[in-house]
Structure 1
Amino acid sequence: APLVHLALYALQHRGQESAGIAAGDGDGVVLHRDLGLVAQVFPPAVLARLRGWLAVGHVRYATMGSATVANAQPIVVASPWGPLAVAHNGNLINAPALRRALEADGARFTSTSDTEVIAHLLARTAAASLEEAALRALPHLDGAFTVAALAGGTLLGFRDRHGIRPLLLGGGPGFWILASESCAFDQVGAVALGEVEPGEVLALTPAGPRTIGALPPARRAHCVFEYIYFARPDSTLYHRNVHQVRRRMGRQLAREHPAPADIVVPVPDSGTSAAMGYAEAAGLPLEVGLIKNRYVGRTFIQADAGARQAGVRIKLNPVREVVAGRRVVLVDDSIVRGTTSGRLVALLRQAGAREVHVRISSPPIRHPCFYGIDTSSRGELVAARLPVEEIRAAIGADSLGYLSQAGLVAALDLPPGDLCMACLDGRYPTRVPTEAEAGRHALEPQGHEAAPPAARASLTEVGA
């Protein structure tokens, strides 16, 4: 558990609503989860009671189900092999249908998360072992998912057949580790050994990682938004360092959309690498024109619009002495809902910027994501409603330029056929679900009413 706890700090950027760890000793499981950041959820006294030589940890950014303790992960259910702890990244697009079938079979649900659907499916699949259950359950799961599951002395990970969300394997002195990003390995002294293949079921054993089986090969579809925004710059995904990719995106953006400007200012932090590339290619000085409040979370992954708008107001502040009287190129990674961009342009103008030219190091996001990014409603996406010129006017910029999709692919230096760019071009690697099937409220009670908040979490010990 202490090792997983450290790794979760490195992955905090992926989710800030809740955190949890389930630790096992081969017999029982000790679970602690709660709303809040890793540092808040795991004080030393709690961490000391998470005993065991196996552990699964999670930080949550809700894309299906409300931000409640009941939906915090890992989720633990009873199984033939003892308490089964499951943590999951992604989104199932057939979760409502699976849940109805499981409930008809007698499963009792305590959350509105698709993670619990996976847990009950594993527990109710006729199999002699957790490994066999995963192999048999995997073909019934549709969508994007990386899963870590723990029961008895077994810890395994598996991934959807397209590899939409990342899952990497690492190893250190006397341990093996699975994580969404390689930066978690650096935190605990592990080295990256490769990725879990799409559709693969991998067990971590004392003797080493062992492939249990895999689904038949399908088209790879790695999520481009991991590179655009989600992943940490020091992570390496699919053999590409995220910082270097974003820097190439910035260089290409400067070639496609030059601007008459005096300085380049990044929107920290996810716009910083692209801004470096833009400044290099444009021959302009890179300046720190916006200061980030380090104690405010990522505004895009806040749970609701009100929280996002409040987050923008307190998250960034301009450096007046840097921007006053100057023509500014403001580089950001994306415009999703438009919450942040208009506010930032206004902030720079209030600080005295003469002109503000907004440059975005991704193409316009015009289509919803059903695979683990909370944009399942197309009406939320400003680029789905407005052409570029109207977006420019709406955010108050002097000019607006987006990186082309071809430029993005060139910067990634990955085969286009191996990428999921559905949010950009509407070409989905799976069947296209409805929002009712895969949206934020797909498993909520009718009318999108959130389930009553659960009581504050406490340590839970579950025997075999």
Structure 2
Amino acid sequence: MEILKHECGVAMVRLLKPLEYYKKKYGSYAYGISKLYLLMEKQHNRGQEGAGIGVVKMHSVPGNEYVFRERALGKDAIQEIFETVKDKVEKAGIVDRDAEWVERYAPFLGEIYMGHLRYSTTGKSGLSYCHPFLRRNNWRSRNLLMCGNFNMTNVDQVFDGVVACGQHPRIYSDTVVLLEQLGDSLDKENHRIYRQYRDSMEGQKLSRTIEDNLDMQRVLSSTAPQWDGGFVICGATGSGDMFALRDRHGIRPAFYYHDDEVVVLASERPVIQTVFNVARRDVHELMPGKALIVTKGGQMKVSDILGEGENRRCSFERIYFSRGSDADIYRERKQLGWNVVPAIMKSIDGDLGHSVFSFIPNTAEVAFIGMVGGLMRELDKRKEREILDAQDAGTLTPELLSEIMRRDLRVEKVAIKDIKLRTFIAEGESRNDLAAHVYDVTYGIVENNVDNLVVIDDSIVRGTTLKQSILKMLDRLHPRKIVVVSSSPQVRYPDYYGIDMSRMGEFIAFRAAVELLKDRGMDYVLDDTYRRCKEMEGVLDIELRNCVKAIYAPFTQEEISRKIVEMLTADGLINAEVDIIYQTLDGLREAIPDCPGDWYFSGDYPTPGGIRLVNRAYINFYEGNTDKR
């Protein structure tokens, strides 16, 4: 019901044949840029604040551009970018040109293509924060294009290190800091090769030798071990080397495909499957700590840069962000829906006959299918028992059997997202009234004051939309009881690895726990937690503890859920009884066993930087610094 913003998605394409090859086989020199466009459009779900592309043209002649970049802001950024590229390519007049001219002079038609889709998690917006970032130099091998799906938790330390080396970054952001750090290492790699060959060659021959011998594994190994966070960092030099590096815990996802024509990387597996029409088995996960590296000469390898750490692949990727068309994710989301069925049956007192089942929003549809499957199993068990009991009692007749078999779940499309309201023109109650009408309802499917209305969502994080819109909308149908089900557990802790959930006080579960502490005269827990968080600021990484867990420790999940209901209905505007059901941690782990990164729910952060930041977030909350993350 609430839109969560994810950091971004990435896409890279490396052509391994001359452009003439793609023209002859696929009918266009624009094969690479067309594939990049599709990879980005099919990952549009991962970022709608902005987008950017970069292209490296390896055969450009001196005096002509060889690193192209285009960026745009807004939800239509992809279309805007590629319309601009299309215009520039058409103006170059490539139709009547031969392959050699296209390889040397045509804009945006090169060998390396990089794409990025952006959601800001830092609060910083504007074109200057859109990837890819570009570090310019007059030597091709020192130019660096970089983009990534990441959030660094120790950017202060990395920034200080870059400054200590004598650099002067022009923007304070993790992207710029990483660009400059990698750029400095790339410079040193150029110098290393230069010193090796300077006495035996010079000029263009020396430059080409440097380009041919760059060791990107060495460049990454000298910088990446200093990074704390979740990341997939993508880069390309102006001379034709390409890389993508994944964090050692696998927090952020990356997949790749290669054949004798292309090497492709993207944030999601089914995107590559669809765009290149290849089998699932041919698309490989880039394993944690590894880097996919393609040299200027087109040789591909996967190198171990960081070593593989404890598996902490992000569970929220599976619940919400990644496309549900992935075979594993589809199955996992169905299981999440199936796993909440026992709690639903308890909430409706087992009354399937007087319960209507639906979902909001569309992203919850797969979990809904799983939920319905679990409910159907319960209904089938009832039918079996009733038939067997009637048979044993000698009362089973064809009419009774037919009546039992006709019973079915009442599955309906309850809510429709009607319009995108421009609530910024209104204030106060007027704004809330507009927000309450974002969804329209289907009338006539709920029996007034008799039926339960059960709707499933993929997550309930802040509770704002639930309070201002969803509950009021559902209440217009006059159910006896509204049951809102979250296929994910209670979001209790901020994220610092690429999802826009970083302010402690925004979470309805956290606010509910705080209110429960106050209700029960346990305010001292708030004070003690603050003191312990302050103490953590000066300790070594190995001594770090998530002190915020103490806020939740006195309460069960059900107690916090009841308090959430109380807070969301305190204005007295909802007539129906309301219940909120959250997935349990055990249910989550059963459904998604291979992606155990559940720090949003458990508070078990995968890196020291995450623990430091959650303690700092509580300090900011306690001190009233609501503008800080």
Deviates more, 1:165-174 or 1:273-282: 165-174
**Aligned counterparts of 1:84 and 1:353: Cα–Cα separation in 2:** 60
State the distance in 2 between where 1:264 and 1:253 align: 13
1:172–1:254 CA distance, 2 compared to 1 (3 A): farther
Superposition deviation, residue 100 in structure 1: 2.7
Q: Give, in angstroms, the shift of residue 136 of structure 1.
A: 1.5
Q: Deviations over 1:246-282 (max 9, x none)?
A: 1111011112332425221111222111111112212
2:546 is the counterpart of 1:366: no
8 Å Cα contact 1:88/1:145 also seen in 2 = yes
**What is aligned with 1:166?**
253
Name the amino acid aligned to 2:439: L
Larger relative helix fraction: 2
Q: Is 1:318 matched up with 2:441? A: yes
For 1:379, give the aligned amino acid.
Answer: G
What SS does structure 2 have at the residue aligned with 1:264? Answer: strand
User: Match for residue 226 of structure 1?
Assistant: 317
For 2:73, the aligned partner's letter is L
Match of 1:400 among 580, 604, 627: 580
Is the contact between residue 340 and residue 583 of structure 2 (CA under 8 Å) also seen in structure 1?
A: yes
Q: CA deviation at 1:172?
A: 6.2
For residues 67 and 106 of structure 1, do their structure 2 counterparts lie closer, same or farther at Cα, with a shift above 3 Å needed? same
**CA distance in 1: counterparts of 2:410 and 2:489, whole angstroms:** 24
- 1:85 partnered with 2:149: no
Matched, 1:144 2:321: no
Question: How far 1:111 sits from its partner (Å)?
Answer: 3.9
Deviations 1:305-345 (A, max 9, x none): xxx98996575332224456442101001111112222211
1:338 pairs with 442, 447, 463, which one? 463
- 1:211-257 CA-to-partner distances (Å, cap 9, x unmatched) read 23322331111111111211111135xxxx21211111101111233
Q: Which residue of 2 aligns with 1:279?
A: 372
Counterparts of 1:63 and 1:204 in 2: how far apart (Å)? 30
Q: 2:293 aligns with which of 194, 203, 209?
A: 203
Confirm or deny that 1:68 pairs with 2:164: no
Distance 1:197 1:22, change over 3 A: same
- Alpha-carbon distance between aligned partners in 1 of 2:37 and 2:344, rounded to the nearest angstrom: 43
Match of 2:525 in 1: none
- Give the equivalent residue in structure 2 for 1:176: 263
Alignment of 1:383-394 (within 5 A): 383-386=509-512, 387-394=560-567
Q: Residue 213 of structure 1 corresponds to which residue in structure 2?
A: 304
Match for 1:201: what amino acid?
A: A
Residues 170 and 427 of structure 1: CA distance in aligned 2, closer, same or farther (over 3 Å) = same
- 8 Å CA contact 2:273, 2:283 repeated in 1: no
3-state SS, counterpart of residue 131 of structure 2: coil
Q: 2:183 — aligned with what? A: 123
Q: Indicate if the aligned counterparts of 1:122 and 1:134 stay in contact, CA closer than 8 A.
A: yes
- Measured against aligned partners, the alpha-carbon deviations of 1:95-144 in whole angstroms (never above 9, x if no partner) come to 12212322343434344431222111110123243442112111011111
Q: Over alpha carbons, which structure has the higher Rg?
A: 2
Query: What is the match of residue 334 of structure 2?
Result: 247
Distance 1:39 1:395, change over 3 A: same
Partner Cα separation in structure 1 for residue 316 and residue 434 of structure 2: 21
CA RMSD of aligned residues (A): 3.0
CA distance in structure 1 between the aligned counterparts of 2:128 and 2:616, rounded to whole angstroms: 20
The aligned residue for residue 193 of structure 1 is: 283
Change in CA separation of 1:381 and 1:371 when aligned onto 2, cut-off 3 Å: same
Map of 1:433 onto structure 2: 612
Pair 1:421 & 2:592 matched: no
Contact 2:494 2:614 survives alignment (8 Å): no
Q: Among 559, 568, 590, which residue is 1:410 paired with?
A: 590
CA deviation after TM superposition for structure 1 residue 82, in Å = 3.3
Which string of whole-angstrom CA distances, capped at 9 and with x for unpartnered residues, describes residues 398-441 of structure 1?
A: 11111111111111133xxx6211111111111113269899x9
Letter in 1 for 2:267: S
Q: Please say if residues 279 and 285 of structure 1, whose CA atoms lie closer than 8 Å, have aligned partners that are also in contact.
A: no
User: Secondary structure of 1:409's partner?
Assistant: helix
Comparing both structures, which one devotes a greater share of its residues to strand? 1
Aligned equivalents of 2:432, 2:177: Cα separation in 1: 32
| 2:117 partner letter | V
Gaps of 5+ in 2: 1-32, 61-65, 90-106, 191-213, 349-353, 377-408, 422-430, 513-559, 570-576
Is the CA contact (8 Å cut-off) linking 1:252 and 1:403 kept in structure 2?
Answer: yes
| Maintained 8 Å contact 1:20/1:41 | no
Q: Distance in 1 between matches of 2:45 and 2:435?
A: 16
Q: Is the 8 A contact 1:249 1:411 kept in 2?
A: yes
Contact 1:154–1:204 (CA under 8 A) maintained in structure 2: yes
For 1:195 and 1:413, how far apart are their aligned partners in 2? 17
> How far apart in 2 are the matches of 1:447 and 1:366?
17
CA distance in 2, matches of 1:208, 1:190: 23
* Cα pair 1:92 1:438 within 8 Å, conserved: no
| Aligned position for 2:53 | 21
Amino acid paired to 1:82: R
Distance, in Å, in 1 between the alignment partners of 2:504 and 2:151 is: 17
The residue that corresponds to 1:292 in the other structure is 417
Considering Cα pairs closer than 8 Å and 6+ residues apart, tell me whether 1 or 2 has the greater RCO. Answer: 1
Percent identity between matched residues is 27
Shift of 1:187: 4.0
1:181 positional shift? 0.7
Displacement of 1:171 in angstroms is 3.5
Is residue 327 from structure 1 mapped to residue 452 from structure 2 by the alignment? yes
Structure 2: how far apart are the matches of 1:139 and 1:233? 33
Contact kept in structure 2, 1:172 and 1:189, CA below 8 Å: no
Which position in structure 2 is the counterpart of 1:57?
A: 115
In 2 relative to 1, CA 167–315 (structure 1 residues): closer, same or farther, beyond 3 Å?
farther
Q: Deviations over 1:362-384 (max 9, x none)?
A: 11111111111111222111111
2:441 is the alignment partner of 1:350: no
CA contact (8 A) 1:64 1:438 kept: no
Contact 2:133 2:176 in 1 (8 A): yes
Contact 1:146 1:159 in 2 (8 A): yes
